[in-house]
Chains A and B, each alone.
Chain A
Amino acid sequence: MAFSVIGLQLVSALVSATFLFLMASGLSLIFGVCRVLNLAHGSFFMLGAFLAYSVTQVVATSLGTFWLALLLVPLATALLGALLEIVLIRRFYGANLLVQLMPMVALIYIISDFSRFVWGVSPGSVPVLGLFGTVSILELTFPAYYFVVLLASMVVAAGLWFVITKTRWGILVRAASQDREMSAACGVNQTRLFTTVYALATGLAGLAGVLAVPISGASLEMDMTTVVNAFVVVVVGGMGSVLGSMLAAILIGLVNAFGILILPQFEMTFVYALMALVLITRPTGLFGRE
C-alpha cells in the first residue's frame, strides 16, 4: 500500500477519533462520578452544532464568527447541562440505572423536537472549511481545518489531564469515582462537584458539536448516531477512565479507517465487532475496573 494512502487514512482516523474522544470522555466522567448513564449526551452535541450554526448566521459567516461560536457555544451547552443537572438529573442520582432511563429518554425526545421546531428539517451549514485553506505534506493535501480539530482535541486532552491530576477539583473527581460514599463521608461537597462534572461533560459535547459543524453540518439525526458511537468508545475504553476513552477513540478511528480500506463492504460492522471482541475478553473494557 502506498505511503500516501496510509498517511491519508491515518490523519482521517485521528480526526474521527477526536470527536469520539470529546464525546466519550464526558460520558465517562459523568458515569464515573455521578453514576449516571447520560443517554442524552448526543443531544448536547447536536445542540452545539445547531447553536454554532445560529451564531454564525447572525452576522455573515466568517472565521471571526466561527471563533466566537467556538468560544460561546460550549459555554452555553455547559450552562444548559448544569441547569438540567440541578433541576432534573440530580433527583435521579440515588435511584438505580433503570429509573434514570425515563428522564434520559424524555430529554432525547424533547431536545430533538425542540431543535426541529427551532431550526427546521433542513441541515445547517457553516461553510468555513475553505477559509482555513489546505496544508500539504509531501504529496498529501489536507484541509487545514482538520489540523485545527486535532489541535483542539489535544489541548482538551492535556487540559483534562491537568485538571484531573493536578487540581483539587480533579482529586475530588477521582475520589468520587473510586468511592463515592467515602468521599462524601470525608466532607466533599458532592452537590457542587456533580454539577460541575455534568457541566464540563456537556460543555465538551457542545465543543464537539461546534468543531463538527464545518465538516458535517448541523442536522437532526446527529444526536442518535453520535451517542451510540460514543458509548462504544466508553465501553471499549472502560467506564470512568478518560485515558481509556482516548485510547479507545484512537483505536476505533483506526479500525474504521483501515477497515474501510481493506473490506469496504463491511463498513459499520467493524466497530461493533471490535467492541464485542474487547468485551468478551475484558468485560470491563481496556481500562475499566469492576
Chain B
Amino acid sequence: MNWLRLPARHPLLLGLLALLLICPLFLPQTYVVQLTDTLLFVLLAVSVNLLIGYGGMISLGHAAYFAIGGYTAGLLVTQAGMPMFIALLAGPLAAALAAALIGLFCVRVANAYFIMLTLAFGQLVYTVVWKWRALTGGDDGLVGVAPPAMLLSEIHYYYFTLVIILASLILIHRICDSPFGTTLKAIRDTPSRARSIGIDVGRFKLAAFTMAGFFAGIAGSLYVFHNRGIFPQSALWVTSTEIMLMAVLGGANHFVGPIVGAIFLKTLNFIIPRMTEFWMFFLGVVVLFIAFVMPRGMMDGYDGLRARLKKIRE
C-alpha cells in the first residue's frame, strides 16, 4: 500500500505523528484548543501547496474557500438544522464548486496576474460575506455553531479533527504521487513543454485549483464547529497571505514543508504575543531571518544541512 510508505519516506512525519497522537493527553486544555487550530492550518497550508508546489500557482485568495466551506457548514446547521456530518460534507463541496467557478477565470493567466486575480476574487468573496448580512450575519459573524455533545469537549474534537486531517493529508499525498501530480509538476516546471506534448494545461490547473479549494473547505467546515462560529476576517486576503506564508516558510518544494511551516508560524503566533506587545515586529524579524537563511523554506534548509553534515562525515 502506497500510503504506508509515506511515514517511512518522511521520518520527520512519523515523529510528528506520534507527538500529535500522544501529547494532547498530557497538555492543559489551552494547548489542545491551540493544537486543533494548528491542525486546520496545516491542512490549509498543504492544500495551498497543491497549487504552488505542484501547479506553480501562487494564490492570495485561498482563505475564500476556507470561509466558503465554513459558512456553508455553519449555515446548514444553524439555518437548515442539518446534522453536523452533512455540513462537513457540504462545506467542502461548496468550496470546491466555488473554486471551480473562480478557477475557470484564474487559470487562464499566470504569475503575477494569477496572484492578483485570486486576490481580487478572494476580496470579492470577503465583501459579499460582509455585506450579505441577512444570510451570513455580516461582521457579527455566524455564531452559535456547536458540534454535537459528544464532540463538545476540546480533546474529543481534537482527535476527531486529527483523524480527518490525517486522512486528507494522505489523500493529498496520493494525489501528488499519482500521474496527475507528476503532470502538475511538469506544468509547473515547463508549462510550454507540457503544452507541446499535448497536455491540456488549463484543465489540469483547474482540477488542482478545485481540489485545493475542496481541502480548504474541509478545514473551513471543521473550523466553524471548533471555533463555534466564523467571521468575515477568515476570508480576508491577510488570512490568505498567512496561509501562503506558512507554505513558503516551511518549503513549498516538499510535501512536509507546509506542515512544518504551519506548525512553526502558529506556534510563534501563540508564543510571541504572550511575551511582548510588539509581537508583529518580532514575528517579522523571524520571517526575515528565515527568508535570508533559507529562502526556499525550512525543509530545504534542513535538507541542505543534512547534505552538508553528510559531506563532513565523508
**A contacting B, Cβ–Cβ less than 8 Å:** yes
Q: How far is the CA of A103 from the CA of B285 in the complex (A)?
A: 9
With A97-B58, A273-B124, A283-B108: A117-B281 Cβ-Cβ less than 8 Å: yes
CB within 8 A of B288: which of A99, A110, A114? A110
- B208-225 contacts to A, CB under 8 A, are none
- A-side contacts of B82, CB under 8 Å: none
Report yes or no: B120 in contact with A106, Cβ–Cβ below 8 A.
no
The verdict on A215 contacting chain B, using a C-beta distance below 8 Å, is no
CB within 8 A of B127: which of A99, A101, A272? A272
Minimum CB–CB distance for A146 against chain B, Å: 27
The contact size tier of chain B is 35 or more
Report yes or no: A98 in contact with B281, Cβ–Cβ below 8 A.
no
- A-side contacts of B296, CB under 8 Å: 99
Residue with the greatest number of chain B CB neighbours at <10 A, chosen from A92, A101, A288? A101
Minimum CB–CB distance for A79 against chain B, Å: 20
Interface stretch, picked from B72-80, B154-162, B236-244, is: B236-244
* Interface set of B (CB-CB < 8 Å, partner A): 52, 58, 105, 108-109, 111-113, 115-117, 119-121, 123-124, 127-128, 130-131, 237-238, 241, 244-245, 248-249, 252, 278-281, 283-285, 287-288, 290-292, 295-296
- B-side contacts of A112, CB under 8 Å: 280
Report yes or no: A113 in contact with B281, Cβ–Cβ below 8 A.
yes
Report yes or no: B281 in contact with A228, Cβ–Cβ below 8 A.
no
Contact sample, A vs B, 25 pairs, CB 8 Å cutoff: A37-B112, A37-B115, A39-B241, A91-B292, A92-B291, A97-B115, A98-B248, A101-B245, A102-B288, A106-B288, A107-B284, A109-B281, A110-B288, A113-B284, A114-B281, A117-B281, A228-B119, A228-B237, A231-B119, A239-B112, A268-B127, A272-B127, A276-B120, A279-B113, A279-B117
Q: How far is the CA of A30 from the CA of B52 in the complex (A)?
A: 23
- B-side contacts of A109, CB under 8 Å: 280-281, 283-284, 287
- B-side contacts of A234, CB under 8 Å: 116
- A-side contacts of B111, CB under 8 Å: 97
Report yes or no: B113 in contact with A283, Cβ–Cβ below 8 A.
yes
With A273-B124, A283-B108: A268-B130 Cβ-Cβ less than 8 Å: yes
Q: How far is the CA of A239 from the CA of B116 in the complex (A)?
A: 10
Minimum CB–CB distance for A219 against chain B, Å: 16
Q: How far is the CA of A272 from the CA of B281 in the complex (A)?
A: 31
Considering only CB atoms, which chain A residue lies closest to B131 in the complex? A269
* Interface set of A (CB-CB < 8 Å, partner B): 31, 37, 39, 88, 91-92, 95, 97-99, 101-103, 105-110, 112-114, 116-117, 224, 228, 231-232, 234-235, 239, 265-266, 268-269, 272-273, 275-276, 279-280, 283-285, 288
Report yes or no: B249 in contact with A272, Cβ–Cβ below 8 A.
no
With A37-B115, A97-B58, A280-B105: A106-B285 Cβ-Cβ less than 8 Å: yes
